[in-house]
Amino acid sequence: MAAQTLTVAGRKFILLPKREYEKLRTLARAAAEGDEPALPRPDAQGNYPAVEFARASLARKIVRRRRAAGLTQADLARRAGIRPETLNRIERAKASADVGTVEKIVRAIEKTESETH
């Protein structure tokens, strides 16, 4: 990212490419909406349930990257060659994704990102 600093009337501003600004805006909106799946709470010994934690962590990463790429769930599912219902369940941390499905999702996001740069 090629950001520049600009001072106007004693106040500093950051100039950055519009695409980078849009990514940051999308990420901030998602964080404000709080619609990412919550991470599970630890038990009395401080241990997290592994499967639930893994599902939620993966879901949060996919949601953030999908939004930063400017894709809807339907767009990403189509590009990844998976059913929209499958992506929805993965993003809500209601289902575990196998390695092949995760690879399809990642490739689709990366391809979208490379098309926009």
Consecutive H or E run containing 4: strand 4-8
| Contact predicate 7/13, CB 8 Å | yes
Average of per-residue pLDDT across 81-106:
97
Residue range 6-47, pLDDT digits in tens? 999 999 999 988 888 887 877 676 666 667 898 999 999 999
How far is 61 from 33, CA to CA, in rounded Å? 15
Q: Is pLDDT above 90 for 106? A: yes
Q: What is the CATH number of domain 19-38+48-115?
A: 1.10.260.40
How much is the mean pLDDT over the chain? 90
Cα atoms found within 13 Å of the Cα of residue 76, Cβ hemisphere only: 28
Residue 80 has pLDDT above 80, yes or no: yes
Residue predicted with more confidence, 3 or 43: 43
Beta bridge partners of 4: 15
H or E element in which residue 63 lies? helix 50-68
DSSP E strand boundaries for the chain: 4-8, 11-15
Judge whether residue 94 has pLDDT over 90: yes
